Structure 1
Amino acid sequence: MQFGYSEDCLAHDPGSRHPESPDRLRAIRERLKRKHGVEYVEADPCDLETMAAVHDREYLEEVREFCENGGGNWDPDTTAVEATWDAARRSAGLACWAAKAALEGETGRKTPFSIGRPPGHHAVYDDAMGFCFVNNAAVAAQYALDHDDYDVDRVAILDWDVHHGNGTHDIFYDSDDVFFVSIHEQGLYPGSGDIDETGEGDGAGTTMNIPMPAGTDENGYLAAIDGPIAAAFTDFDPDLVLISAGFDAHQHDPISRIRLSTEAYALLSDRMRSLADDLDAALAFILEGGYGLDVLADSVALVHETFDGREPIEPDDDPSDKAIDTLEDVLDEHDLDVDVDSL
């Protein structure tokens, strides 16, 4: 894969006890040293106009001023330093690079994966939260839609971070040109993302939330992709698929109770690659969460291996009854004709 990366993203340092530390990127880079075919690309920082397509301009100016004045605690979880504004611009720029590279035909072993930070999927239109200041995936999706050169009419986003991608959800909740799916742990921070939240206005039906019960493993996640996600994306027919790729649903991540294995991320990536191919859609990955350094690094490395030719190992078990119940409710809410017995 091609990994979008910048040293600027290391300068955002919310403190040694904060889980969203620069060591996340250092761990990924160290693990990828053992792999062949890894390429790194540094993209330009995102400009204010591009970010303001999905964020309130006054809010962005406030973040910039906050950082210029030395930063501090924006909220109890979200901390900035002087370098955070530049890191956030760079992270958003790397996400746009990933979308652009995918749309320009980079695929297979060249599939783009932006590993910028701070992450973005909790940042709403006019506020920062959950370690996030600028919504990287939302900026990248709108960037693709706004550039006539790419001839993009519709973008689909799958957020498989263990936390609900509330920021992306909110930004596109009334938009008909972005289909947003979040598969997350039920009841976990920020407590949003119910099944019956499906969009409004022009965006009615273009938001899908799949809140999985604690303890769900890869069988439930794969069933979600094979069932409601594949059906919804097929109906939507996107030109670009973005993966908000958090790795905190891993069974050894310190802040969640979903039970994905490292192999699960190879399986999820392979499923989404196949789905994007079936849809003739470009595909790009954008890093979100993941706070166990070893499992984060191992999981990202396995995604890379999947695009480098490794065949994922299919699980033998079936989805849990609780996971199937959730998927049945999602299918009913979106009026999708999928046989759950086949999942």
Structure 2
Amino acid sequence: MRFGYREACLDHDTGARHPETADRLRAIRRALSKRHGVAYREGSLADRSAIEAVHDADYVAEVEEFCADGGGTWDADTVAVEATWEAARASAGLACWAVEEALDGADGRQTPFSIGRPPGHHAEYDEAMGFCFFNNVGVASQQALERDGIDRVAVFDWDVHHGNGTQDIFYDRSDVFYMSIHERGLFPGTGEVLETGGPDARRTNINLPLPGGSGDDEYTAAVDRLLEPALERFDPDLFIISAGFDAHEHDPISRMRVSTEGYGHLTKRVREISDDLDAALAFVLEGGYGLDALADSVGMVHEVFDGREPIAPDGDVMSKSKRVIDDARDAHDL
């Protein structure tokens, strides 16, 4: 794979006790250094105009001023320093790089994966939260839609938290499909099954709040029974994975049970779906706070594109999870 990475993302200093630290990127880079075929690109800082295409201009100015004044605590979870302004622009720019690479034909072993930080999927139109300042996937999706011939973008968010920001930005848009698998009851407490899209965007927003303990079998069932048929109907030109790895069985802040091998199988399935739909495919890093689990999982994604055949799960889907999947299918007429 080609990985987007920029040193400026390390300068966003959240403090020693914060779960979202620069060590996340360092751990990923160490793991990838042991693997074949890894290449890095820096991308460019996201322009203000690209950020303001999905965020309120006054809010963007507020973030810039907050950082220029030295930063501090934006909310209980979200902190900044002076360097956060450039890091946030770098992270959004790397997501844009990944999307542009994919749309320009990078696939197979050249498939792009942006590993910027801060993450983005909690950043709403006019508010930072959940470690996020700018919605990286949102900025990149909108930039893609401004290209000739790109009419529809699909986002699959497998981070363990609901991407309330991505939903907030695109909920009333019929040209962006969003699906989130997340742990029920976990921060930020949003993402209900019956939230299916605004009046002019019905069936473009799928939420799957699975119970704690869901793992490889449940995530695979969600892809096979929900994501694949929904995307066949939506027919996107671009498919973005909001790739958080905090649903891993060894992540410290969730109760989900996805294994490293499970992330490999998910990667195989989204690649198959994108190929079947002839959609460009790009990955953008979100969460993941167990350093070894995060690094191993990103490494697994790379290995699948480098030829590894992951083992498919063959267990039973928990009854509680099956009911949620069935409810979501019913809500979307699938």
Fold similarity call, TM over 0.5: yes
Kindly provide the amino acid, as one letter, of the partner of residue 231 in structure 2: F
SS at match of 1:284: strand
Q: Any runs of at least 4 consecutive aligned residues in structure 1 with deviations exceeding 4 A, and if so which?
A: none
Given candidates 157, 170, 173, the residue that maps to 1:172 is 170
Q: What is aligned with 1:219?
A: 217
- The match for 1:45 is 45
Instruction: Using the TM superposition, give the Cα deviation of residue 267 of structure 1 relative to its aligned residue in structure 2, in angstroms.
Output: 0.5
Q: State the number of aligned residues.
A: 334
- Aligned-residue sequence identity (percent) comes to 63
Q: Equivalent residue for 2:275?
A: 277
Alignment correspondent of 1:288: 286
Is the Cα–Cα contact under 8 Å of residues 172 and 203 in structure 1 kept in the other structure? no
TM-score, normalization by structure 1: 0.97
Match of 1:299 in 2: 297
Partner of 1:140: 140
Q: C-alpha separation between the residues in 1 aligned to 2:247 and 2:217?
A: 13
Equivalent residue, structure 1, for 2:34: 34
Residue 154 of structure 1 and its aligned partner are, at CA, apart by 0.1
SS for the counterpart of 1:97 is helix
Runs of at least 5 residues in structure 1 that lack an aligned partner in the other structure: 337-343
Letter in 2 for 1:87: A
Question: Superposition pairs for residues 218-257 of structure 1, below 5 Å?
Answer: 218-257=216-255
Residue 124 of structure 1 and its aligned partner are, at CA, apart by 0.1
Separation in 2 of the partners of 1:299 and 1:123? 24
- TM-fit CA distance, 1:301: 0.3
Paired AA for residue 91 in structure 1: S
d(CA) in 1 for partners of 2:254, 2:295: 17
Instruction: Identify the residue that residue 21 of structure 2 maps to in structure 1.
Output: 21
Shift of 1:201: 2.2
What does residue 321 of structure 2 align with? 323
Structure 1 Cα separation of the partners of residues 312 and 157 of structure 2: 22
Please tell me whether the aligned partners of residues 11 and 84 of structure 1 are also in contact (alpha carbons under 8 angstroms). yes
How far is the alpha carbon of 1:202 from its aligned partner? 1.7
The more displaced of 312-321 and 163-172 is 312-321
TM superposition shift of 1:203? 1.5
What's the CA shift string for 1:195-229, capped at 9, x where partnerless?
Answer: 00111122122100001111001100000000111
- What is the letter of the counterpart of residue 243 of structure 2? A
The CA distance in 2 between the partners of 1:279 and 1:147, in whole Å, is 19
The residue that corresponds to 1:340 in the other structure is none
- Structure 1 residue 316: Cα displacement: 2.2
CA distance in 1, matches of 2:262, 2:156: 15
Distance 1:112 1:99 in 2: 8
Cα drift, residue 33 of structure 1 = 0.7
Using the TM superposition, give the Cα deviation of residue 319 of structure 1 relative to its aligned residue in structure 2, in angstroms: 1.2
Separation in 1, partners of 2:118, 2:150: 27
Aligned-partner residue type, residue 223 of structure 1: A
Is the partner of 2:200 in helix, strand or coil? Answer: helix
Separation (CA, whole Å) in 2 of partners of 1:315 and 1:277: 22
- Matched to 1:169, the amino acid is Q
Show structure 2 runs of 5+ residues with no match: none
Q: Which amino acid aligns with 2:160?
A: V
Matched residue type, 1:324: K
Task: Give the letter aligned to residue 5 of structure 1.
Answer: Y
